[in-house]
Chain A
């Protein structure tokens, strides 16, 4: 999917890692392993981005409440790095409460928009 969208190998790895982390979050923290709850993954490739949407039917997530894993008091904790890594590996991440549940949208720019984004970052 990421390869077909024209992403380089290291970007494919980043997307795969972000999707895996989001899927684990949906099943583990969102649906809390409840077999009666579903989680969904959808993706689309636009002219300038790969967009992946992962949603669960859990209690919902307030992104503002997530502790910063880089803070000295959290650095040596054994968990709490999933969303941080997703943000590090994707170009845009949107999290929204769907009551009940959480929807996370992962966006990786491709082609010209990726080149433009890199140019702006320099």
Chain B
């Protein structure tokens, strides 16, 4: 299953609902283009919902890191929402779990963005 990313706005936060695989090639490119587009529109609060992401490889992890640093460079915040166990484990193994702000609840994640 290829990756899909759809955007919605809730209380000033851009939520990106992602589904499928974030892997080298299409999945990573979709993520990169989505983040670039949001940054281009001046979005500063971005929440990546990974609840339906079934698989992520080292390229996908790298793309998440690049997204995080790109948003931060523009003075924004990027948080992750609803990790599957596999993605959770990968972020722990790579010591990135504490780098990202990760939430399980959407409403709590939205509130956690600085006003």
Contact = CB atoms under 8 A, between A and B. Distances in A.
B62 A77 contact: yes
B94 A21 contact: no
Contacts of A79: 58-59, 62
B53 to A, nearest CB: 14
A77 B94 contact: no
Contacts of A24: 24, 57, 59
Nearest to A81: B58
B77 interface: no
Contacts of A42: none
Interface residues of B, number: 19
A52 B96 CA distance: 29
A82 interface: yes
B99 A75 contact: yes
B66 interface: yes
Given A69-B94, A70-B95, A88-B93, A76 B69 contact: yes
A66 interface: no
A88 B58 CA distance: 12
A50 B76 CA distance: 46
A85 to B, nearest CB: 5
A85 B65 contact: no
A13 B86 CA distance: 9
B112 to A, nearest CB: 21
B47 interface: no
Interface of A: 13, 17, 20-21, 24, 28, 69-70, 75-82, 84-85, 88
Given A76-B69, A77-B62, A84-B94, 15 more contacts: A17-B57, A21-B57, A24-B57, A24-B59, A70-B94, A70-B95, A75-B95, A76-B68, A78-B63, A78-B65, A79-B58, A81-B94, A84-B58, A85-B57, A85-B90
